[in-house]
Structure 1
C-alpha cells in the first residue's frame, strides 16, 4: 500500500522535510483520507496512520478455535466454605497472613468444605510454586478444582479423581503426589503399587519415588529397599541405603553396628571416657554396597572422618546406650574430648533425625544450648531434632530450658535460638512461661531495640493456643514498661501479635 509507505517515510524524516499530499478519492479508504486537513501536517500524519490501522483491523477475520469445548465439570456434593471464610483465604492468597494458610486449609479439610470457584486459579497456582502445600490444597479443591487443573498443563500436579488412571498415565508431579498421598494413608498398598512398576520407570522418576518413600517408612519396606542395594545405578543404591538407615532393625543398620564394634576404641583416663577409631584403608565391596563413600569426602573433612561419620550416622542409636549403659550426654561429652568431636556429633544428629530418637534428640539440643550452637548449628537439623520429641516432651524440655536460663530473653539467648524453630502448637503453660520471660526481658534489657526478637512475635502468634486469647488481649499490653523513648517499639509488636491472634480466632470460627 503506497499511502502506508508514504506515512512511514514521513514519520521517519519528519513533517518539516516531507509532508503528505492529498489522496484522490478512488475507494472507501482514500475517501476517508481525502477528508483530512492537509494544512496541519502533524495532525494529518497521525490521523492517516490511525485510519489505516483501523481499516486493516476491520478487514481481519477473527481467530477461531476449532478445538471442542471441554466436558463440563460434574456436580459436586460438597459445600463451599462460607463467604467470610473465603475472604480470609483471599487475604492469605494476597500474601497477607500467608503463614496461617496451612491452618486454614487443615480446618477446611476437617470441616469437609471446599474452596469457592473464584479462588481456585490462585490456589492452584500457589500449589504449583509451593510443593509442600500440595497435599493440603488437594483436600479442598473438590471436583471443580480437579476439573479446572485439567485445563491447564501448569497445574498437572493435581491428582485426578480416577486414581488408577493418574497412576498409569498422569504427569510425573501428579504420580508423585498420589504416591505421597497413598503412603500417608496406607504405606503397604503404596509400596506394592510401586514395586510393580519400579523397574520400568526412568532413573529420575525412581529417585523421586524413593524420596517420597520416607513417608510412612517401616520395617515392612526393608526387603524391597535391601534389594535395591544391588541396583545397577549408584544413586539408587545410595538412596536405598539412606532409607534403610532410618530403620534401626534393618540388616544394613545391624551391619553398621558390627563395623563400629570392630572399629571403636574406648579408654578411661581419670574416670573420663575417651574415644578413638581404627578403620581399614579403603572400601571393600560390602561397605560400598551399604552406601559408604570413601573416595569423595566433603571439604574440611578427611577420608577417615568422612567414613566414621557415614558409619555412625547409619548405626542404631540403641547400640551406644547398650554399651555399659552410657547415656547420650556422656557419649557426647566423650566425643568432645576426642579429635572426632564434630564428626561424631554431626553423625549422631543425622542418626537421631533418621531414627527420631527422643533421648538423643534432647541431649543434642541441650548441647546446642549449652555451647551456644558450637556443635549443633544447622537450622534444618535443629527443627528435625525438635520434631523427634513428643508433644509433651517438647513442652517439658522448653519450659525447663526457659526457667533454668537466667539471662534476659533476647535474640542472643540460647533458649530463643531454639524457640524460633519450635513450629508446633504451644500449651497454655508454655505460653505463660514465654510471656513471663518476655516481661522480665523488657524490664531488664540493655538493648530495647531487638528487631530479631520483635519480628519473631509474628511466628509466636501462629502457635499460641486460642483458648487464652481473651486473657492475653488484656494482659499482654501491660508487660511493656511505660518508657516514652522505646516503649512504642514493643507496643507496636504486641498490638500486631494480638491482631494476628484475633485473625486466627475469627478465621477458625467460620469452620
Structure 2
C-alpha cells in the first residue's frame, strides 16, 4: 500500500476539525488548499475526508465481541390461555394510555384491575408470557403497589431480565425474601451469609432459619448482636413476631436493656404479647394496682387510680414516659400499662366476669374512654377475638354509645382479629345502621370478594343515597372499592340501577346522570372481571397440544428461545 495517497487536487492532511468546518460552512466561505496551492472544491473535500477516515480506521484494533448473558432460567409453570394472554396485553397497554381527566365515564378502569388479574393468574399457577415481561416490569417500576404481584407472576425469568436493565433494579432488591437463599441445612453456608451478606440477605436468612429451627435463628442473633447497628437490631427483633413463643422470652428480656429506645420498645411489645412472660406479669401487677373492682355502692363498678409517676423499672419495661402533645401524663401511663397486661387477668380480677360483662361495667371518674381504648389495643396485640367482639359491640349501636372506642381506625384493627365471614357480617350490619359515610375504613379490612351480605349492604346503601339525591362524588371511594371487591355474580342484579332516576326535590343538579353513569361503570367492571376469571379458568384441554406438563415444557422452551 503506498505511503502517500495525496493528489494535487486533494488537501494535504488537514485536521479533521478543518474538514468538518469547511463541510458545514461550504468550500466557498471556508476553502481548503490542495497540494498545488489551489482552492479545493467540494469533491476534493470529500476525497480528503475519505482519506482521513481510512487512516483513522487503519489504526483501530478489531473490537471484542460483547459477552452474551447467561440464558434465561426455565419456568416450568404452564403458559397462559390465549384469551388471558391477550387480556393481559390489553391491561398493560391501557396502563400507558394518557389519562382522560374529568368525568370517568361508564367504561371500566382497566388499570385498577391489573393487581387483581395478576394475583388470580399467579394463584392458578400460570407463568408470565416472555414477550410481556418488559411491560410488566415497567408497570411495576411505575406503581409500587404492583411490585409484589408482578414479581410473583414474572417468576425467575422476570428477575433474570431485571438484572439486564438498571431501571428494573427494584425487582432485585425486592426479591431478597424469596431468592438466592442459601441451603439452610448447610451450617457453614448459613454462617458465612450471616456474617458476610448484605442486610436484606441476612433478614431473609434469619426468617428462613427461624421457620425451620427457631433456636438456631436466635443463636445467629446472639452471635453478632453486640456488633449490629441499632437500625439493624430493630429489624432483627421485629422479625421475631413470626412464630413468637415463650422460647424467645430470655432473648427479649435482654433486649429490654438495649442502647436503642426503639429496640427496647419493640422487645417490650413482643413480651407483652406472651401472656406467660415475666414482663406481662410485671405489667399486670402495675395495672391491677390502678384498676380494681369498686364495691362501695350496691353494684360493682370499676375504680381507676392512674399512676402518679413513671419510674425507671416502668421505662425499662417499655413504658414511654413523655406523652404526645395533648395527652396527660397519668392517662398516658395508665393506657400503656393496661395495653401490656394479659386480658385474662381482668377476668380473674373481677370475679370471673366475661369480656362482654366487663366492658359494660361503669367506670369511675370518666376513665371509661381511656380504659376501653387500652383494652382495644390489648385485644389487637394479643389477637383475642373474644375481647374484640365485646369491644366492638353490636354493629347497630350508635358510635358514641358503643362499649369500646369510637375510633374507626381502632375498630378496623379489632375487626381484623375476627374470622373473615364474621368480619363481613359485622360491617354489613354497621352499614345498614349507619350508612356508608363512616364505613370506608371498615371495608378495607374485609376479604375480597365481599361476602353476599356485605355486598348487598353496600349496594343497598348506594341505592338509598341515589334515591335521596345525594352527591354521587361523595361516594366515589366506596364505588371504586365496589368495582374491585363486589362479587362479579352481582352484575345482573345491579343492572336495574343503571337507569337514570327522577331527581327528587332538593337533589344535587345532575346527580341522577352521575349515579347512572357510576352504576353503568360498576356493572361493566363486574362483567369484565367475570370474563377475566373465565379466561384464566379456561380448560387447558382447549389449547393446542392438550393439557399437561409436556405442553408446558414445550411452550417454555419456545419462549426461552425468543428470550
Band of TM-score, shorter chain = 0.7 to 0.9
User: Following the alignment from structure 1 to structure 2, what is the Cα–Cα distance between the partners of residues 26 and 449?
Assistant: 87
Partner of 2:335: 309
Give the SS at the match of 2:179: coil
Which residue, out of 131, 134, 143, partners 2:156? 143
Any conservation in 2 of the 1:264–1:275 contact (CA below 8 Å)?
yes
What's the CA shift string for 1:157-209, capped at 9, x where partnerless?
A: 314355437965654335545655x49xx745366335424542633333223
Partner of 1:464: 486
Any conservation in 2 of the 1:146–1:160 contact (CA below 8 Å)?
no
Partner of 1:434: 458
Any conservation in 2 of the 1:442–1:448 contact (CA below 8 Å)?
yes
Give the SS at the match of 1:114: coil
Tell me if 1:425 matches 2:449: yes
Give the SS at the match of 2:460: helix
Partner of 2:237: 210
- CA shift in 2, pair 1:319/1:111, >3 Å: same
Cα deviation for residue 88 of structure 1 reads 4.1
Flag the structure with more relative contact order, 1 or 2, with Cα contacts below 8 A and sequence separation at least 6: 2
Tell me if 1:255 matches 2:276: no
Any conservation in 2 of the 1:273–1:334 contact (CA below 8 Å)?
yes
Any conservation in 2 of the 1:105–1:136 contact (CA below 8 Å)?
yes
Give the SS at the match of 1:210: helix
Which residue, out of 274, 277, 284, partners 2:305? 277
User: Following the alignment from structure 2 to structure 1, what is the Cα–Cα distance between the partners of residues 491 and 376?
Assistant: 40
What's the CA shift string for 1:425-444, capped at 9, x where partnerless?
A: 3222332233233333332x
Tell me if 1:297 matches 2:323: yes
Cα deviation for residue 85 of structure 1 reads 2.7
User: Following the alignment from structure 2 to structure 1, what is the Cα–Cα distance between the partners of residues 116 and 41?
Assistant: 65
List runs of 5+ in structure 2 lacking aligned partners: 1-13, 97-108, 184-188, 504-508, 538-563
Tell me if 1:24 matches 2:49: no
User: Following the alignment from structure 1 to structure 2, what is the Cα–Cα distance between the partners of residues 191 and 385?
Assistant: 32
User: Following the alignment from structure 1 to structure 2, what is the Cα–Cα distance between the partners of residues 170 and 134?
Assistant: 24
Any conservation in 1 of the 2:470–2:511 contact (CA below 8 Å)?
yes
Task: Give aligned pairs, total.
Answer: 472
Cα deviation for residue 495 of structure 1 reads 1.4
Q: What TM-score, normalized by structure 2, do the two folds share?
A: 0.69
Give the SS at the match of 1:279: coil
Partner of 2:344: 318
Radius of gyration: which is bigger? 2
Give the SS at the match of 2:153: coil
User: Following the alignment from structure 2 to structure 1, what is the Cα–Cα distance between the partners of residues 473 and 111?
Assistant: 21
Cα deviation for residue 358 of structure 1 reads 2.3
CA RMSD of superposed structures (Å): 4.5
Any conservation in 1 of the 2:252–2:271 contact (CA below 8 Å)?
yes
User: Following the alignment from structure 2 to structure 1, what is the Cα–Cα distance between the partners of residues 466 and 17?
Assistant: 76
User: Following the alignment from structure 1 to structure 2, what is the Cα–Cα distance between the partners of residues 200 and 475?
Assistant: 66
- CA shift in 2, pair 1:130/1:345, >3 Å: farther
What's the CA shift string for 1:84-107, capped at 9, x where partnerless?
A: 434444555528545544443433
Any conservation in 1 of the 2:302–2:361 contact (CA below 8 Å)?
yes
Give the SS at the match of 2:213: helix
Any conservation in 2 of the 1:157–1:177 contact (CA below 8 Å)?
no
- CA shift in 2, pair 1:3/1:102, >3 Å: closer
User: Following the alignment from structure 1 to structure 2, what is the Cα–Cα distance between the partners of residues 226 and 187?
Assistant: 22
Give the SS at the match of 1:141: helix
Partner of 2:173: 156
List runs of 5+ in structure 1 lacking aligned partners: 37-50
- CA shift in 2, pair 1:85/1:283, >3 Å: farther
User: Following the alignment from structure 1 to structure 2, what is the Cα–Cα distance between the partners of residues 190 and 126?
Assistant: 38
- CA shift in 2, pair 1:131/1:372, >3 Å: farther
What's the CA shift string for 1:21-71, capped at 9, x where partnerless?
A: 4343569xx9676889xxxxxxxxxxxxxx9xx98xx98979978884433
Q: What TM-score, normalized by structure 1, do the two folds share?
A: 0.75
Cα deviation for residue 246 of structure 1 reads 2.7
Cα deviation for residue 20 of structure 1 reads 4.7
Partner of 2:106: none
User: Following the alignment from structure 2 to structure 1, what is the Cα–Cα distance between the partners of residues 490 and 282?
Assistant: 53
- CA shift in 2, pair 1:7/1:250, >3 Å: same
